[in-house]
């Protein structure tokens, strides 16, 4: 809905008690309405319930969610004024969120129940060449196959690859569309900001990290491959205290229009600590009908220095199968089963008998309303 309707409503209430003041500022109020006329309000409520099978460790599961509980994973409220087509366009975007898996702009996760600012940035366009679109402020990370908006990912639970990419950062990023098929993003961001699972670079040497991305989208002339994408992405600190990220990921269209294949390679490397590992992911999504969709994800964690999330395993795998069915309007409903396996040490320790857990099976139901 349009934000200016709220502005008009508030102005009408104020006119009852302060009619003369409103009349005196009538011209100024009109300018505010014009500035906000394209601002939209949207968001979503993300809920779930999960069950971890078998004799599992206490506390959270290996994927970071509470065991055998209902949860409010995320409530997000968004205000957005997108760029228009003018050469000197401007706008902004704000995401306010809360919940057990809500991204906090100052920390990776927030579980304290308070409202956080996930994103708050200004957008600007400069008419250089095809135009450079800038974002300045707090914004989502751009590396990795999966994003912060969970319902837009193929699966409900997060991948291990997601956990080693920056969830968000504060800085300045510019995107330039080289042609219809190719775009580039580069920028500079504050060091020490949030990764989904690991701490970002230390600030002893530098206070900045540098972000770069090159994105290729197959044009219509590529036949059945049209819409396929390939992304080359990195975060670099360029000194001995940095935590550097590398991501190569993409989605491949197939001759069978309903089937798409996704691939991901994510690497995190720290020169100041033992964080050093690779994660390989493979995705498949199948749109069976207008309402029914199937998704499958498999991942391999393979490095002696990289532990699985919330556990002690340095090598392991996970396989996740998800069924989505859109029974209600504006509602995402997903049922999911996930298997995590550790090849070395264990996923966690069971406190009752100190036994080592090498396998975990999680069942989850996810219900999201988008508005």
Both tokens assigned to 196? 């989904």
For the chain, which domains are there?
A: 1-37 (no CATH), 38-370 (2.40.160.10)
What distances in angstroms separate CA 57 from CA 62, 183, 310, 346, 352, one per listed residue? 9, 46, 11, 11, 8
Both tokens assigned to 181? 């098929």
Angle at 330 between CA 324 and CA 332, to 5 degrees: 20
Q: Around 36, how many Cα atoms within 13 Å sit in the side-chain half-sphere?
A: 16
Residue 245 has pLDDT above 50, yes or no: yes
What whole-number percentage of the chain has pLDDT above 90?
A: 56
Classify residue 113 as left (phi > 0), alpha (psi -120 to 50) or beta.
left
Report the C-alpha gap between 226 and 181 in whole angstroms: 10
- 298-350 pLDDT, tens digit each: 999 987 666 665 556 678 899 999 999 999 999 999 999 999 888 876 665 55
pTM: 0.82
Q: Diameter of the chain by CA atoms?
A: 75
- 62-107 pLDDT, tens digit each: 555 556 789 999 999 999 999 999 999 999 999 999 998 887 665 4
Q: Quick check: helix, strand or coil at residue 53?
A: coil
- Cβ pair 2, 39 in contact under 8 A: yes
Q: Quick check: helix, strand or coil at residue 113?
A: coil
- 183-235 pLDDT, tens digit each: 999 999 988 654 444 445 555 556 789 999 999 999 999 999 999 999 999 99
What whole-number percentage of the chain has pLDDT above 70?
A: 71
């Amino acid at each position: 809905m349009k934000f200016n309707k709220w502005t008009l409503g508030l102005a009408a209430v104020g006119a009852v008690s302060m009619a003369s003041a409103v009349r005196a500022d009538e011209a100024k109020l009109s300018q505010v309405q014009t500035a906000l006329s394209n601002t939209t309000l949207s968001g979503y409520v993300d809920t779930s319930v999960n069950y971890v099978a078998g004799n599992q460790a206490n506390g959270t599961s290996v994927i970071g969610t509470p065991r055998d509980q209902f949860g409010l994973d995320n409530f997000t409220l968004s205000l957005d004024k997108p760029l228009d087509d003018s050469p000197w366009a401007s706008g902004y975007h704000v995401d306010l969120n809360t919940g057990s898996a809500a991204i906090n702009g100052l920390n990776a996760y927030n579980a304290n129940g308070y409202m956080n600012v996930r994103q708050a940035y200004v957008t600007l366009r400069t008419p250089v060449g095809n135009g450079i679109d800038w974002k300045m402020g707090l914004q989502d990370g751009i590396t990795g196959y999966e994003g912060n908006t969970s319902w837009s990912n193929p699966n409900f639970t997060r991948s291990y690859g997601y956990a080693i990419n920056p969830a968000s950062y504060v800085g300045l990023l510019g995107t330039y569309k080289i042609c219809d098929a190719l775009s580039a993003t580069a920028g500079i961001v504050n060091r020490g900001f949030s990764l989904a699972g690991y701490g970002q670079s230390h600030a002893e040497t530098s206070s900045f990290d540098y972000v770069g991305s090159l994105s290729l989208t197959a044009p219509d002339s590529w036949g059945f491959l049209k819409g396929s994408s390939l992304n080359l992405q990195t975060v670099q600190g360029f000194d001995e205290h940095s935590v550097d990220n590398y991501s190569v990921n993409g989605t491949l269209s197939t001759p069978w229009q309903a089937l798409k294949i996704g691939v991901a390679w994510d690497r995190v490397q720290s020169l100041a600590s033992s964080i050093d590992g690779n994660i390989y992911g493979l995705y498949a999504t199948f749109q069976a009908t207008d309402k029914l969709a199937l998704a499958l994800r498999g991942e391999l964690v393979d490095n002696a220095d990289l532990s699985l999330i919330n556990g002690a395993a340095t090598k392991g795998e996970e396989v996740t199968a998800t069924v989505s069915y859109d029974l209600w309007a504006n509602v995402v409903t997903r049922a999911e089963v996930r298997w995590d396996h550790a090849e070395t040490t264990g996923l966690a320790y069971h406190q009752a008998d100190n036994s080592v857990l090498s396998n975990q099976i999680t069942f989850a139901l996810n219900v999201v309303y988008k508005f």
